[in-house]
Amino acid sequence: MTVHDKQDLLDCTKVIPPANVAIIMDGNGRWAQACGLPRVEGHRHGAKVVRDITEYCREVGVRNLYLYAFSQQNWDRPADEVQALMTLLEEYLWQEIPTMRENGIKLGVMGDKTLLPSNTLRALNQAMEATKHCREMNLVLAISYGARDELIRAAKKLAAEGTNPEHWTPAMLSGYLDTAPYGDPDLILRTGGELRLSNFLLWQASYAELFFTDTPWPSFRRTELESIFNDYQTRQRRYGQTPAQTAQLTERRVGRRKK
């Protein structure tokens, strides 16, 4: 281990991450164009950043990492870009299975899987099966995902239960969302300079802290995520309560996570 590795380890221990982090990985195409490269090169570089950021999140103790990899609306992109993204996802999954297993990362997926090409679906299913025993962190890829579609799917399942709609609660609907096994994001980050959620986790975003950076995803590095995590720790999440009430809650939360 080099001096730098040791320093990195020491620095890691200082970071108190949110438990659930969600990232909208935007700016791949513009980054590529600015470098005079085809758009798909932006996605290829973006996939390398996925590797590094996933690893960083696991190292610092994030429990659930949601990555918006392909939206339902992305199906409307030019066919060659859609094809390239599906191939990239597939390659990424096959390559990462050993590392995910080694690092205890369990793969999950959210979205409408019925639309996926069979090769991508096979890689996804294989990666989920191969990592189902992993316990360190859940990496949840949103693929062919749209929040409105997720809500409609959940509402249909709730209605099919046959319970009286008068008795429905937010928790009951949450229980049918794709995120049910993992929970709502504490922090949602969007790279690439745009200030919107683009149909990502709309219900679950209710109390999330939002962060936006101009950095395009292919240039995004763990040092920037570390500052975002540090900034997150300074925010007071009030959930509709008064500052005094929530100060107590925040103290308890930070105290618990430091132990």
Which residue number, 210 or 254, has a Cβ lying nearer to ligand FPP? 210
Q: Which residues contact 99 (CB under 8 A, 6 or more apart)?
A: 51, 105
Burial label for 136, CB within 10 Å (0-12, 13-18, 19+), is: middle
Q: How far is the CB of 147 from ligand FPP (least distance, A)?
A: 15
What pairs with residue 188 in β-bridges?
Answer: 22, 210
Distance CA 15, CA 210 (A): 18
Residue 88 in the binding site for ligand FPP (CB under 6 A): yes
26 is catalytic: yes
Q: Is 124 in the site for ligand FPP (CB under 6 A)?
A: no
C-alpha to C-alpha distance for 209 and 220, rounded to whole angstroms: 19
Rg (CA), the chain: 19
Q: Is 164 a catalytic residue?
A: no
What are 213's two structure tokens?
Answer: 């950076």
Per-position x/- string for 125-144, each x denoting binding to ligand FPP as judged by CB under 6 A, each - no binding: ----------------x---
**Contact between 192 and ligand FPP (CB under 6 A)?**
yes
By CB under 6 A, is residue 25 in contact with ligand FPP?
A: yes
Q: For the CB of residue 92, give the shortest distance to ligand FPP in the complex, in Å.
A: 4
| Residue 21 binds ligand FPP, judged by CB under 6 A | no
Nearest approach in angstroms of CB 195 to ligand FPP is: 13
Name the residue among 94, 110, 115, 104 with its Cα closest to residue 142.
110
Q: How far is the CB of 46 from ligand FPP (least distance, A)?
A: 3
Quick check: 217 binds ligand FPP (CB under 6 A)?
yes
Query: Would you say 44 and 218 are in contact if contact means Cβ atoms under 8 Å apart?
Result: no
Give the footprint of ligand FPP on this chain (CB under 6 A): 25-30, 43, 46-47, 50, 67, 69-70, 74, 85, 88-89, 92, 141, 192, 217
Where in the sequence numbering do the catalytic residues fall? 26, 74
